[in-house]
Every structure is written in structure tokens, then in C-alpha cells.
Amino acid sequence: MQVITTVQDMLALRASWTQTGRLSPARTQNRARRAHEAPQVGLVPTMGYLHEGHLSLVRQARAENDILTTSIFVNPTQFGPHEDLARYPRDLPRDLRLLEECGVDVVFTPTPDDMYPPGFVTYVEPTGPLVTMAEGASRPGHFRGVATIVLKLFQIIRPEQAYFGQKDAQQVAVIERMIADLHLPISLRTHPTMRETDGLAMSSRNAYLQPDVRAASTVLYQALLAGQATFENSPATGPAGVVQAMQDTVAGEPRARLDYAEVRDPVTFLPLNTLRSPALLLIAATLGNTRLIDNFLLRADGTWETGKTRE
């Protein structure tokens, strides 16, 4: 496994992959591809402090690509001025060990100064409900930072396939829209939210949770279950009834402060007027000093994606 720490070195390595037949030093998984074709490159962008949610993405990507790159970069432009950039958890040695065990070929770990040198002024700016609603309303500028760093990584690493967790449902929608709007030659692949055995969605930010609020943090999952039950059993109550069920659940947990509970279209993020598929149940709440998000997705075919629980 190669660890690349500068944009310049990553660009040079990527260029070497397009030379016909030059797959080494990176390992190739898919030997069936014809030798004269360029290798298929996969990217799993992360902010590090990896958990099983990331690793499930990495394993899926490993199986689907010739050369697999994972990036680790705590992107400053997606944090607000009062958010947790400075204290965001980091453990690079552990991350590298985990990625090596998954068979990753290249880990890209640039510095903020390399990604945003003096004079940097060009952002990717998604607009409309997709970035003004839900997370976009709570975190102004967040999706501009996300879209910008993802486009930059896409240009540097030029993957055919890029992998994102369904836990960040709005991020998935923003990037899917960016790929379409800007004609990027990339397939977005998602993987279900991974959950602890009590239902808490895995997140690097769970490391912030003190023991007293850790137990209470399952309230997001409980609220989604309550919303789902209302959606299925009491469709006449409409989106307001589903939202009410989620709100009531959070109200029953004094250590949780609800940010939002919503039912939205998973592509446009417009609110639903009636309960139909596809739909996205979204929730954000603060426990102690830690803000957590979670979601359930009702697919267009009527099946639910509620995540996978750790064995």
C-alpha cells in the first residue's frame, strides 16, 4: 500500500495508471480485464478516524475496482466557523493499518495547505433546496465545502467509481446532482448505514459521546423506527404524522435536543406533500455537545433501507 501525501505526487501516480498495461505497483484485483485497457480506479473519500461504516465501503470498492484509492482529509471548507474542525478525531496510524488490511492500493493524505493554497478562490456551489434544507439549513456552506473537495479529489484521482455512505443521505444527493450537472464521468456507489448493536449509526463523531449520553444517543434510531411505523401503519396522517412521531420520540429523551425531523424527497430534498415512495426520513439531534444525524430511505420500489447492524 502506497501512502501519497502531496497533490503533485498523486497526480503523477494517477497519470502512470493510464499508461497502457502499467498496473504495477498497484495491485489489481480484476484480472479478467483485458491487458490493453486502462485499469478501473475506485475512490473512497473519507475524513479518517475510520469505523465499520467506512470499512464496509472500502471492502465493496475493493471488490469492484482494479486500483483502489482511499483519501483521508479533514476538509476545512465543509466545517462552519463554530463547528468541530479543530477537535475532529484523528488516528492516522490506525487508519492506515485498517486500510492495508482491506487491500487498499493507495491512501491519499494531503495537507490543507496543499489542497487550499494561498489564492484559492474557486468553489463548487450547489444551490436550491438541496443545500438550503435539512443539513444545509443547519450548516450553511457545508455542502459548498463538500462539493468542492469532492470535485477536487475527483479531478486528482479520476476514479471511475466513487463510494459514499448512505448515512450522509443529503451528501449523496448533492454529489449525485453535481456529477450529473457537471457531466463528471463517474459512477456514485452507496453502501447502507452501519449501526452499533443498539442501533446507533456509526460515525467518527460518536467518539465525542460521553458515557451518560451514549445510551441516550439511540434515540435517533428509535425516532426513525417510530416514523417508519407511522409511515407504514397510519399513512393517512401524512408527512406531518410521521414527523410528529419522530419528534415525540426525541421529546421523550431529556438528554437529546432535536435539530430537525423531516420527510423529504431523496433526490430533490423538497418536502413531501403526501406519503409516497421514494422518501427519506431524516433526523438530526444534539446529545451533550455532539450533533448526530441519521436517516431511513424508502426506495422507489417500496422497500426500506434502514442500515445494517453490527453482528
Among 123, 229, 232, 257, binds a second copy (CB under 8 A): 123
Site pattern 134..173 for a second copy (x: CB under 8 A) = ----------x--x---xx--xx-----------------
Choosing from 54, 82, 142, 191, the catalytic residue is: 54
**Interface residue with a second copy, options 62, 139, 142, 177 (CB under 8 A):** 177
By CB under 8 A, tell whether 119 contacts a second copy: yes
Question: Which stretch, 47-55, 59-67, 121-129, 284-292, contacts a second copy (CB under 8 A)?
Answer: 121-129
Give, as one character, the DSSP assignment of residue 271: B
When binding is defined by CB under 8 A, the residue of 24, 81, 86, 122 that contacts a second copy is 122
7 binds a second copy (CB under 8 A): yes
SS3 assignment, position 78: helix
Beta bridge partners of 257: 286
Which listed residue (31, 34, 36, 82) binds a second copy by CB under 8 A? 36
Q: Which of 306, 49, 7 is nearest to 158 (CA)?
A: 7
Among 11, 188, 215, 216, binds a second copy (CB under 8 A): 11
- Site size toward a second copy, by CB under 8 A: 30
The distance of closest approach from Cβ of residue 117 to a second copy in the complex, given in angstroms and rounded to an integer, is 8
Q: Which residues contact 37 (CB under 8 A, 6 or more apart)?
A: none
Question: If binding is defined by CB under 8 A, does position 126 make contact with a second copy?
Answer: yes
- Give residues with Cβ within 8 angstroms of 214, minimum separation 6: 200, 206
Q: How far apart are CA 183 and CA 240, in angstroms?
A: 37
121 touches a second copy (CB under 8 A): yes
CA dist., res. 47 & res. 270, Å (int): 28
First to last CA, the chain: 28
Out of 124, 133, 243, 297, the only residue in the binding site for a second copy (CB under 8 A) is: 124
Strands 290-298 and 304-305: antiparallel
Q: Report residue 48 CA to chain centroid gap.
A: 12
Residue located via cell numbers 443529503 = 170
Distance of closest approach, residue 155 Cβ to a second copy, in angstroms? 4
Q: Which residue has the cell 501525501?
A: 5
From 39-47, 175-183, 214-222, 235-243, give the range in contact with a second copy by CB under 8 A. 175-183
Rg (CA), the chain: 20
Contact present, 298 and 224 (Cβ < 8 Å): no
Active-site annotation holds for 54: yes
Distance of CA 129 to the CA centre of its chain: 19
92-100, 113-121, 216-224, 253-261 -> range binding a second copy (CB under 8 A): 113-121
Catalytic residues: 54
Interacting residues toward a second copy by CB under 8 A: 7, 11, 20, 36, 119-128, 130-131, 144, 147, 151-152, 155-156, 177-178, 181-185, 268
